[in-house]
Structure 1
Amino acid sequence: MQTGIAEKGDTLRLAYAQYLTIVKYKAFTQVTVRNPWDLTRVLHTYLLVDKRKPLPRVLPQGTVVRIPLERMLVYSAVHCGLFDELGMVEAVRGVCDLPYIRLEKIHRRVAEGKVTDVGSSMSPNIERVIALRPDGILLSPFENGSYGRIEKLGVPLIECADYMETSALGRAEWMRFYGMLIGKEYESDSLFTKVEYAYQALRHVADETEEKPVVLAELKQGSAWYVPGGKSVTGQMYADAGACYAFGTIAENGSVPLSFETVFDRARHADYWLIKYNQMHDKTYAELERDYRPYAGFDAFRKRRIYGCNTAKVLYYEETPFHPERLLKDLIAVFHPNLFPNYEMRYFTPLSE
């Protein structure tokens, strides 16, 4: 069955995603995922074949996925939320890390016995996975990683490398691939078009602003302060929101550990400071100073220009990967408050005293 294909395929134009290539043939669709940690290599090749039709006699090398998937095991709440938005939450039949999933519909379906909780994503309960009989397992890859016993089940492993993309729209564009998996290609294409249009319209508004305030991000964790690199999705979004990121010159697409002294030296005069945290109550200036007294030395602290996102209360991680336009509008409203005077922020709010 594994041989070359003489037929010329139709390559789907992807405008932003760097690690994804989709080529359509008459009998199947070939999806190639590049290795984000070594761009000279392929992470995985998938051959999507309609399950209602016979398997083609001739196929290239790759993992055959019979679509649409109807019994998925999904590791991430991010993808559960997307499938729900595309009207196919019923195709999610198993999840990992249920305590960290904040989607009420998933919890209700678990209680009803329609979704199986297979435990931790680091070590899923293999017996529950086998009993689930998934037709696809969606998980997040990591560098030089293996998936243990789950790899030996003969179930297609869909490696969701969207989180490694270096632009917000690049990550969001992966929804076009995920839509194909569940038979919602048209719907996912339509959704992405709306997201792209809204994002670019907002970016254009921010581009027109003359003032570009300096922004600082995150908090110290232990002995290091992990700041997003200038080429990260976060760093790029600050630029798209009309701000000057204090660490925008760091040419990394992930987070970089810096000492407090380094961060303070470079960003003590930043105009705004954005933090994310997870706790039952909203963080205050008094609590922030109790956490680490030197925080009070930043201009943004003294001028009361710190905005916090309490991920225990808002669906930041669940929504923003595939709806970056929502986050972008929040950021623009922080950096340029006169542009949206009556806007009610979705994720970030000013810290109280």
Structure 2
Amino acid sequence: MKRWIQLAVVALCAIVVAACGRKSVSLEDFDKPVYMLEYASGFDILSADGRQSVLVTVTNPWQGADSVTTRLFIARDGEQVPEGFDGQLLEGDAQRIVAMSSTHIAMLDAIGEVDRVVGVSGIDYISNPDIQARRDRIGDVGYEGNINYELLLSLDPDLVLLYGVNGASAMEGKLKELGIPFMYVGDYLEESPLGKAEWLVALSEVVGCRSEGEKVFAEI
């Protein structure tokens, strides 16, 4: 009996230690860049001490945007969402992606992850060989203003990659209603070609391959 009591005490201590190690953090704790931007200015990838999760912040992701910030929290290793967070939540790395722009596909292709794309907008206008080879298995969800949300739901995406032109995407409200996470990609707003290309690092973070994204961008 004494041995069982000792084992129970040890187990309880282990649970307490684990719980302490996973104590809650606030949004402000995510202030440590895990990647230093060289040319782009529209995104940041931030982490907190002792955390595997990251916060991807995107600023002013459409023309004329002023002080607009959108956030995507990528929860890893069972970690909780930080206190005060009200943005988009991605549980783990994105395995199934709907890309609303062909540039998103090009960036995922550059890091060897285009196979994660399960849905696109306007498949007839996408020249990527992998997408065309899988066109019978990839959903064409249509264009903004005429999105097939039933098809979108059936694709079971982990994340939808959006872009804005003169304002927020018309899809944003519906995606929130359906509980489908999204992230804006503002590559086209960067002032230099290298700034545009650097967004592939943001997408590589989303799929859990940031080191590969950094390597590819360094070569570019």
- Shorter-chain TM-score: what band? 0.7 to 0.9
Which runs of 4 or more aligned residues in structure 1 lie more than 6 Å from their structure 2 counterparts after TM superposition?
none
* Percent of aligned pairs sharing the same letter: 26
The number of aligned residues is 191
Given the alignment, which residue of 157, 160, 169 partners 1:137? 160
1:153 Cα shift? 1.5
Change beyond 3 A, Cα 1:27–1:176: same
- Using the size of structure 1 for normalisation, the TM-score is 0.50
SS, match of residue 175 in structure 1: helix
Cα-to-partner distance string for 1:133-168 (whole Å, 9 max, x where unaligned):
111001211233342434421111111111111111
1:10 aligns with 2:32: yes
CA contact (8 A) 1:30 1:47 kept: yes
Match of 1:67 in 2: 92
1:8 Cα shift? 6.2
Given the alignment, which residue of 109, 116, 121 partners 2:134? 109
Match of 1:294 in 2: none
CA contact (8 A) 1:48 1:64 kept: yes
> 2: CA distance between counterparts of 1:49 and 1:158?
14
CA contact (8 A) 1:75 1:96 kept: yes
1:160 aligns with 2:185: yes
1:21 Cα shift? 1.9
> 2: CA distance between counterparts of 1:157 and 1:6?
22
User: Which amino acid in the other structure matches residue 156 of structure 1?
Assistant: P
Match of 2:151 in 1: 128
Change beyond 3 A, Cα 1:90–1:123: same
> 2: CA distance between counterparts of 1:141 and 1:87?
26
User: Which amino acid in the other structure matches residue 58 of structure 1?
Assistant: P
Change beyond 3 A, Cα 1:105–1:145: same
- Using the size of structure 2 for normalisation, the TM-score is 0.77
Given the alignment, which residue of 131, 136, 141 partners 1:118? 141
List alignment gaps of at least 5 residues for structure 1.
196-353
> 2: CA distance between counterparts of 1:20 and 1:121?
23
> 1: CA distance between counterparts of 2:39 and 2:124?
33
Cα-to-partner distance string for 1:103-125 (whole Å, 9 max, x where unaligned):
121011122x2x22222344221
User: Which amino acid in the other structure matches residue 4 of structure 1?
Assistant: S
CA contact (8 A) 1:97 1:121 kept: no
Cα-to-partner distance string for 1:188-243 (whole Å, 9 max, x where unaligned):
00001111xxxxxxxxxxxxxxxxxxxxxxxxxxxxxxxxxxxxxxxxxxxxxxxx
Match of 1:315 in 2: none
CA contact (8 A) 2:108 2:200 kept: no
> 1: CA distance between counterparts of 2:78 and 2:187?
30
SS, match of residue 145 in structure 1: coil
Larger radius of gyration: 1
Match of 1:235 in 2: none
Cα-to-partner distance string for 1:238-276 (whole Å, 9 max, x where unaligned):
xxxxxxxxxxxxxxxxxxxxxxxxxxxxxxxxxxxxxxx
Change beyond 3 A, Cα 1:41–1:63: same
User: Which amino acid in the other structure matches residue 146 of structure 2?
Assistant: S
Match of 1:23 in 2: 46
Given the alignment, which residue of 63, 71, 75 partners 1:45? 71
